[in-house]
Structure 1
Amino acid sequence: MATAKTKQKILKTFLDLLSSHSYDDVSLPLVADTAGVKLSDMRAAFGSKRSLVAAFLEKVDAEVLDERDEDMGDQPARDRLFDVLMNRIDALAAHKEAVRSLRSAAKKDTALALDLNQLETRSQKWMLIAAGIDLSGPKAGLVSQGLAIAFNRVVDVWLDEEDEGMPRTMSKLDKELDNGTSFMKRINRLEGLFQGIGSLLRTAADRRGRSKKTASASDDEVAEPV
């Protein structure tokens, strides 16, 4: 069983290597050799590069969740989410070149792109929770996926921005959240429509059920011919 310290060392080494190598060139043996751990320890800690990527995003999630600003609780949901996602950008900043390497590889590797989307969608569900937006059911998955796509567009701008104040990144995030707000309104309208249709169908089914019972009772009351 690999210790927490060993796992941290391996993950740091992986991210450092990604900052100067392509994703394809960063093999598990290379990570183990560079980290100075046995391959068996590497296997016990992380069984694949995907698990290393997942650990990286979980690390970022944890940093954002730990830094959540409780004073934002009385602010509108959109402002809270903006604050959380900018904190996520800040958490990614120390590994900007590793992020660039991952995204470059994903553009050429469909399987990696799908993995990253799945992991990022899971992360965005936690970003919504951190912003006090706790959704459930199909809506939660739909909104988390939409936010993952929107945040990826923001990251594209961030990767190319040199200004430490990040005006372009913040402007892009503003725009994406505006689009997301409109998207949420459409979802809510559709949800209300489906609920209304469901209610009508249930009412119709109840009426049919009552009609059948009434008809059955009437048949029972008809006397059999002698």
Structure 2
Amino acid sequence: MNEHKTSSGSGAEEEAGDLTSPPKDPREAIVEALLELASERNWDDITISDVATRANLSLSTFRDYFPSKGAILASFFRKIDKAVLDAPNADLAGEPAKERLFDVLMRRLDALAPYKLGVESIFDWTRRDPIAAAAVNRLTVNSMRFMLEAAGIESEGAVGAVKLQGLALAWARILPIWFRDDDSGLATTMAALDRELTRGASLVARAEDLNRLAAPLFTLTRSLFDSRRTSRQRAEKEDAGI
């Protein structure tokens, strides 16, 4: 298992960075505001007016960028995806798929770290609200598609769908462990992620075996369907005198 290190900077450096950094664009300010508020209160207690006020924007400007809190959350997921995809890649080209994916997902946790309290609040919301859970699952599946691709792992087709949903569910089991892991090296989280990926690899192997076994049946079914459709079309033409 890889050793994981998190970067840190001095308060003076962070303060200097704040003084020299350009103002956030409204979209970024809104995303940051929502995550800040989520770290302070329950999701259901946050209004779009609260978010606009925290972002120091008018409600009209807010509306120019987002129609709802859910849309902001989707933008946050894309922001984290981009942070992972833009991060320098370790040279893992010759490593097994599991190790490559492990590295990508640890980079994702690094990108989420500044928003840990807000992410935990959002996670708690999904456990209380089945509709929220389904919506966040869709966002997670979309993100995991890019995580798999970043790791050089196929994500298309029937088996790809199994990988995506399986990884999204595994991620939902990893996050609560990460929320409680105060170790700077994230040893507990890393061990849990390693176990999840090992179990996931076994399930994917079974899905691939099933897909290979079922492929001839699917081909035969499709052939029969196409044959019947061709016969029906020919009969319709004959009835029409064509």
Q: What TM-score range do you get, normalising by the shorter chain?
A: 0.7 to 0.9
Superposition misfits of 4+ residues, deviation over 3 angstroms:
196-203
- Deviations, residues 46-99 of structure 1 (Å, cap 9, x unaligned): 110100110111110000011151511221111100000010111111100001
Instruction: Note if 1:87 corresponds to 2:107.
Output: yes
- Percent identical pairs in the alignment equals 36
TM-score (norm 1): 0.84
- Deviations, residues 19-47 of structure 1 (Å, cap 9, x unaligned): 11111111100111122211111111111
The aligned counterpart of 1:63 is 83
State the distance in 1 between where 2:152 and 2:121 align.
32
The aligned counterpart of 1:8 is 28
Higher relative contact order (CA 8 A, sep 6+): 2
Match runs of 1:25-64 below 5 Å: 25-64=45-84
- Deviations, residues 183-225 of structure 1 (Å, cap 9, x unaligned): 111011001101233456689x6xx99xxxxxxxxxxxxxxxx
* Counterpart contact for 1:68–1:84, Cα < 8 Å: no
The aligned counterpart of 2:18 is none
1:171 corresponds to which of 181, 191, 194: 191
State the distance in 2 between where 1:124 and 1:131 align.
10
1:136 aligned partner, one-letter code: E
The aligned counterpart of 2:125 is 105
State the distance in 2 between where 1:52 and 1:191 align.
37
Instruction: Note if 1:149 corresponds to 2:206.
Output: no
1:191 aligned partner, one-letter code: N
1:122 corresponds to which of 142, 152, 155: 142
Q: Secondary structure at the match of 2:185?
A: coil
TM-score (norm 2): 0.79
Q: Secondary structure at the match of 1:85?
A: helix
The aligned counterpart of 1:186 is 206
Per-residue deviation, 1:134: 2.6
**CA-atom RMSD in angstroms:** 2.1
1:160 aligned partner, one-letter code: R
Q: Which runs of 5+ in 1 are unaligned?
A: 210-226
Match runs of 1:175-214 below 5 Å: 175-198=195-218
State the distance in 1 between where 2:220 and 2:49 align.
61
Do the aligned partners of residues 196 and 8 (structure 1) sit closer, same or farther apart at CA in structure 2, a change above 3 Å counting?
A: same
State the distance in 1 between where 2:79 and 2:116 align.
14
Corresponding residue pairs, total: 204
State the distance in 1 between where 2:163 and 2:78 align.
19
Do the aligned partners of residues 42 and 192 (structure 1) sit closer, same or farther apart at CA in structure 2, a change above 3 Å counting?
A: same
1:137 corresponds to which of 136, 141, 157: 157
